[in-house]
Amino acid sequence: MQTYHAPLRDMRFALHELHDSAALARLPGLEEATPDLLDTILEEAAKITAEQLLPINASGDAEGCRFEDGVVTTPAGFKEAYAAFVQGGWGALAADPKYGGQGLPQCIAKCVEEMICGSNLAFGLYPGLSHGAYLALESYGSDALKDFYLPRLVDGSWAGTMCLTEPHCGTDLGMLKTRAVPQADGSYRITGSKIFISAGEHDLTENIVHLVLARLPDAPSGIKGISLFLVPKFLPNPDGSLGARNGVQCTGIEHKMGIKASATCQMSFDEATGWMVGEPNKGMRAMFVMMNSERLSVGTQGLGVGEAAYQSAVAYARERIQGRSLSGAKNPGKPADPIIVHPDVRRMLLTARAYNEGCRALCVWVANALDRMQRLPPGPEREEAEDFVALMTPVVKAFFTDLGYETASQCLQIYGGHGYIVGNGMEQYVRDVRIAMIYEGTNGVQALDLVGRKMPVNFGRSLRRFFHPVAEFIDAHAEDGDVKALVQPFSRAFGALQLATAFIAQKGLADPEEAGAAASDYLRLFGLVALGFMWIRSAKVAAGKLAGGGLSDEDASFYRAKIATATFYVERILPQAGALLYAIKAGKGSTMALEAAAF
């Protein structure tokens, strides 16, 4: 049976104690975003995810979406859950009040997003895609398009998608063939085929707004000749009512290993009417607003599923009795002890816990930077936030989903043979989260983005946004009695990251294949150090709270668990950094030596 309760206590720790949510109220437009308000939102979100989304997670997976005559039907309960979701305004949390949004900070939106993904990942894709479309249109759409379409995307009556991939091109979008022909009235006729379109067709909303990449007749070849167009499923009348069906059809849905309740569609555009978003031949600039938002959201998917898998495994490990503790019976009144007493089971559970809580802390750090990036006026502080978000986006997407998959797989292992039995719900988590490592740019592509774009940009300025605060913390706390034992090994891991960065910077300039061969190991190393930084800081906060006294038994237990998990992370997980450095410094030789025909 699947178990998920929103981890509200840990979310409050990350928001308020580790990252100081009170500072958000000093940003323009967030004056009312007090810690009390944020806590209230978290509590209400926990209710809807527990009452509406979790109960239809396993059933939605079993039923899946159905396709017949161009119509996609979502599983039983999804329409009702979506109606409740929209009525509660959950898709409008971080949207601009100008368009009906609530104008809340990104950090709270990301916490709610984690709850949605933890309780029902497939459901979360529908409003998630709509928010991404909202961001792209808000950033680059004309005032007329924004004023007409954004309120409907925000209130959830219309949904959004992004249509990039074609049968012959995925990552290499420069090869796309979809055409856009200008019309006398300023609109365009869009013709072409798209695949892997999440939420491309469904029965949750009355209209669907597709953001489509296509080429103008005179467009230059390659990536520089791509424009972005808004193409609605139904052509709206001036008053917002629905008019004629546009020339866009779903021609089929994919039968997938996971997220089966999310419709992954094949779409056909046959002289569909659309309107340009942004400037001609600069569609990728607009689409990347949506893609980068989705990449952070996909990282949150890895975290959400990892948390759900962990909670389910903990519940099972406490109840399942098998064997005796190696140090003697812990449950002498019964024929065996619960498996949570066994060191290897505890290793897997602690690894999952360390990954989840570390990723949550890092997610809130990045989300706070998103708020500064979006709300501060141009200047050094906003530039710093922009650099940091750009640097961390590929890390969050790839590292969080890698860890989400590892966590789900290890938690399934705790169940033994019962883990791969469908009725227990664990194997769904493994299937669902494995897909997150692929879509929105595979994790290998994210690693190439990190070493090929984010590392060298502006002479390494983005890297300094991470390296400097880490180095300052190490210097300030090297002799701190609360965390000294953790800071010293963490400092060695950080040193490994610095050496790897210098190695790739030097070798990659001379030979791009050297950077490519090291990319995935480097992203893993970066992610491990980033989580280590979150754990060292968390341990420091927890030690201070315990030293201050006056805590309830529950709070004291929470802070002791923080320190224990931080110690486990530093002692048992972070040492991987040294091995990754050795692998990186081995260079590309053995990776590239084998001739293609020999594989």
User: What amino acid positions are annotated as catalytic residues?
Assistant: 440
- Taking the C-alpha atoms of residue 420 and residue 193, their distance in angstroms, rounded to an integer, is 37
Contact (Cβ atoms closer than 8 angstroms) between residue 18 and residue 538 = yes
DSSP E strands in 391-447: the ranges are: none
Contact (Cβ atoms closer than 8 angstroms) between residue 407 and residue 429 = no
74 phi-psi bin (left φ>0, alpha ψ -120 to 50, beta other):
beta
Angstrom distances, CA of residue 372 to CA of 24, 101, 102, 461: 8, 18, 17, 18
Buried b (16+ CB within 10 A) or exposed e, 459-490: eeebbbbbbeebeebbeebeeeebbeebbebb
- Taking the C-alpha atoms of residue 328 and residue 337, their distance in angstroms, rounded to an integer, is 10
- Taking the C-alpha atoms of residue 223 and residue 81, their distance in angstroms, rounded to an integer, is 39
27 phi-psi bin (left φ>0, alpha ψ -120 to 50, beta other):
beta
**Pick from 185, 193, 186: nearest CA to 210:** 193
Contact (Cβ atoms closer than 8 angstroms) between residue 344 and residue 39 = no
Q: Which residues contact 338 (CB under 8 A, 6 or more apart)?
A: 317, 318, 319, 320, 321, 330, 331
In Å, how far from its chain's centre is CA 245? 34
**Pick from 230, 227, 231: nearest CA to 279:** 227
Report residue 546 as tokens.
């315990």
Q: Which residues contact 40 (CB under 8 A, 6 or more apart)?
A: none
Angstrom distances, CA of residue 14 to CA of 35, 93, 260, 293, 379: 12, 19, 32, 21, 27
Count of Cβ atoms closer than 10 Å to residue 345 Cβ = 20
CA angle centred on 232, ends 231 and 233, rounded to 5°: 120
Count of Cβ atoms closer than 10 Å to residue 330 Cβ = 13
Q: Which residues contact 550 (CB under 8 A, 6 or more apart)?
A: none
Which amino acid appears at position 44 of this protein? E
In sequence order, what DSSP letters do the residues of 447-479 get, joined into one string?
HHHIIIIITTGGGGHHHHHHHHHHHHHHHHHTT
In Å, how far from its chain's centre is CA 440? 10
Angstrom distances, CA of residue 260 to CA of 59, 106, 257, 435, 449: 10, 28, 7, 11, 29
Report residue 588 as tokens.
């590309």
